[in-house]
Structure 1
Amino acid sequence: MMAPRSRWALAALLAVLALLFAAWFRDDPRYLQALAVFALPPLLLMAGVLLGSRVAAFWSGVFGLGWFCHGVMVGWERAAGRGYALAEVALALAIIVAASWPGLSARFGRRGQGGATD
């Protein structure tokens, strides 16, 4: 189970990413399709994380790798969307760290302070 702080941080990052996608594609003629493809997955993962699903937290980290790659590709290719793409890269990295933090702290945390024992 994720610690409440980690869960709230991950949920907030996923919400900000969904808002970023909503702003990024606001002028797209296929806005609803863009929202379904880009903004809906982080919102669904956010709901799962808030409900305490470890699977949702895991998939947030996995999807974070895809969002990172997407942001790098768009930032490299298009100057017009570079700001949004760099924001996506930063949020994706933060999501990966937030999703991985409980496991990392359990594995590498100091003994006697909630760290895992071998």
Structure 2
Amino acid sequence: MSPRAQKWTLATVLLALAALFAVWFAHDRHWLASQLVFTAPPLLLALGVVTGRGKAMFWAGVLALFWFSHGVMSAWSHPETAHFAWLELLLALAVIGVSSAPGLRRRFSKR
């Protein structure tokens, strides 16, 4: 995958994750807090990835580990919203894979 395609793929996955959180917590009692904690970070990271900020891809991968953990906890503890949690798990794994690809490519490439 080319760096340009990787950048746009990661931005798309981050925007999908932000949309998921916006829908998931739309009727939350603490709406503003949930939007600031869950929806804002992937939006800001997508903006950073698209504008070419150097560390945005790294931080997306780091935060995806937290999103993955949140998805696992939610899937097991809240069966009524498990479909959101499983989608969060899949998107978090996609963020981890796409953001880790350049490092893995450099690590395992022929010299």
TM-score if structure 2 supplies the norm length?
A: 0.93
> If you compute each CA radius of gyration, which structure gives the higher value, 1 or 2?
1
What is the rounded CA distance, in whole Å, between the counterparts of 2:81 and 2:93 in structure 1?
18
**1:1-118, aligned counterparts within 5 Å?**
3-109=3-109, 111=110, 117=111
SS of aligned partner of 2:73:
helix
The structure 1 segments of at least 4 consecutive aligned residues displaced by more than 6 Å after TM superposition are: none
Aligned to 1:114: none
Q: How far apart are the structure 2 equivalents of 1:3 and 1:52?
A: 11
Letter of the 1:101 counterpart = A
Gap regions ≥5 residues in structure 1? 112-116
Aligned length: 110
- Please state how far the C-alpha of 1:26 moved relative to its aligned partner: 1.1
Deviation at 1:108, TM superposition (A): 2.0
2:34 alignment partner, SS class: helix
Which whole-Å CA distance do the structure 1 matches of 2:81 and 2:98 have between them? Answer: 26
Identity score, percent? 45
Q: For 2:79, what is the secondary structure of its paired residue?
A: coil
Quick one: distance in 2 between partners of 1:105 and 1:87?
27
Higher helix share: 2
Deviation of the 1:68 alpha carbon = 0.2
Structure 1 residue 107, shift from structure 2 partner: 2.2
CA distance in 2: counterparts of 1:102 and 1:12, whole angstroms = 17
